[in-house]
């Protein structure tokens, strides 16, 4: 089993739709979690951190489920500009801090 797994997609949705991605992780000792966005031929950019209590930023909501070992990203009212690849990152804590990226989920928002 891979340490961090994501459905590669693509998720093809119309403008205005709500779409959700999940990311599962295998190490129960993981302590910090993030979502990044990567546009074609660009570097990954931080979208949001994922806190135990959940995190919301405008149309984006991230949640953590420690019991089932996954994080989620919900995008409401999708825009054409949301088309990108969404990468989840899981970090072990303490002295063995090693960030592990998922392979990413591709989102295509069409008119």
How many alpha carbons lie under 13 Å from residue 63 in its C-beta half-sphere? 10
Least distance (Å) between residue 90 CB and other proteins: 11
- Bridge partners (DSSP) of residue 75 are 19, 60
Least distance (Å) between residue 82 CB and other proteins: 19
Q: Given the rule CB under 8 A, which residues bind other proteins?
A: 31-32, 34, 42-46, 49, 87, 89, 91, 93, 97-104
Measured from the CB atom, the residue of 44 and 78 that comes closer to other proteins is 44
The answer to whether 87 and 39 have CB atoms below 8 angstroms apart is no
Token pair of 94 as six digits: 């303490």
Least distance (Å) between residue 14 CB and other proteins: 27
């Amino acid at each position: 089993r891979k340490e961090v797994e994501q459905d590669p997609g693509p998720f093809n949705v119309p403008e205005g739709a709500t779409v959700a991605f999940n990311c599962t992780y295998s190490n129960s000792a993981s302590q910090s979690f993030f979502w990044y966005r990567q546009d074609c031929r660009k570097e990954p950019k931080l979208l949001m951190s994922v806190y135990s209590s959940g995190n919301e930023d405008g149309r984006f909501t991230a949640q953590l489920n420690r019991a089932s070992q996954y994080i989620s990203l919900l995008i409401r009212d999708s825009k054409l500009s949301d088309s990108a690849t969404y990468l989840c990152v899981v970090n072990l804590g303490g002295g063995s801090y090693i960030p592990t990226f998922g392979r990413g989920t591709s989102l295509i928002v069409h008119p």
